[in-house]
Amino acid sequence: SLCPSIHYRPINPNDLDRLEQIHRDIFPIKYESEFFQSVVNGVDIVSWAAVDRSRPDDHSDELIGFVTAKFVLAKDSEIDDLIHYDSSKGEETLIYILTLGVVETYRNRGIAMSLISEVIKYASGLSVCRGVYLHVIAHNNAAICLYKRLMFRCVRRLHGFYLINRHHFDAFLFVYFINGS
């Protein structure tokens, strides 16, 4: 479209097919159908969709980007050692980003940046939430630049974290600390 009009909204059950299709198109890892069901039904998962309202009617609500994330108890997380606990706050949590993607024709317009900003804004509003974290494969420069630009900190390199087509690949673990962590 000539003048995209990007909006952000929660993912809903009508997004199922498109969500699965984009995941298949852009990720080297296969996600199970239970994952997509949990995302569209919001079961233990928070998510945001990006849509282009300037597209023709039958596409104006179709996903062109998404971010999916889940809650993890800070004490059960692999970055337990990096959290400064505040015993007055009760059960502290983190948000773990599962998947982030923007379809190719909509890249380099700041959509991924806005999607991650939605996650950070949401997490910052939860007093028990101490941070947002994620894994990224070590050769994904676009994503690594994005997380660095958004002030995520790279805290770990995990050797052989991903197994893709019987080959191991390293991952970086990035964290964005919030609420005094």
Using rule CB under 6 A, residue 19 touches ligand ACO: no
Q: Tokens 């676009």: give the residue.
A: 142
Q: How many binding residues for ligand ACO (CB under 6 A)? A: 22
Asked if 136 and 169 count as a contact pair (C-beta separation under 8 A), the reply is no
Q: Which span (2-10, 77-85, 94-102, 117-125) binds ligand ACO, by CB under 6 A?
A: 94-102
Residue with smaller CB distance to ligand ACO, 39 or 111: 111
Q: Which of residues 22-51 bind ligand ACO (CB under 6 A)?
A: 26
Residue with smaller CB distance to ligand ACO, 28 or 180: 28
* Residue 120 neighbours by CB distance under 10 Å: 17
Q: How far apart are the first and last CA of the chain?
A: 42
Q: Which of residues 106-165 bind ligand ACO (CB under 6 A)?
A: 107-113, 134, 136, 140-143, 145-146, 149
Q: Is 83 exposed, middle or buried (0-12, 13-18, 19+ CB in 10 A)?
A: middle
Q: Which span (7-15, 87-95, 98-106, 125-133) binds ligand ACO, by CB under 6 A?
A: 98-106
Q: How far apart are CA 17 and CA 37, in angstroms?
A: 10
Q: DSSP string spanning 74-141?
A: GGGSTTGGG----GGG-S-EEEEEEEEEE-GGG-SSSHHHHHHHHHHHHHHT-TTEEEEEEEEETT-H
The distance of closest approach from Cβ of residue 128 to ligand ACO in the complex, given in angstroms and rounded to an integer, is 22
The DSSP code for 170 is E
The distance of closest approach from Cβ of residue 156 to ligand ACO in the complex, given in angstroms and rounded to an integer, is 14
Residue with smaller CB distance to ligand ACO, 126 or 151: 151
Q: How far apart are CA 79 and CA 110, in angstroms?
A: 28
Residue with smaller CB distance to ligand ACO, 94 or 134: 134
| Residue ranges binding ligand ACO (CB under 6 A) | 26, 97, 99-102, 107-113, 134, 136, 140-143, 145-146, 149
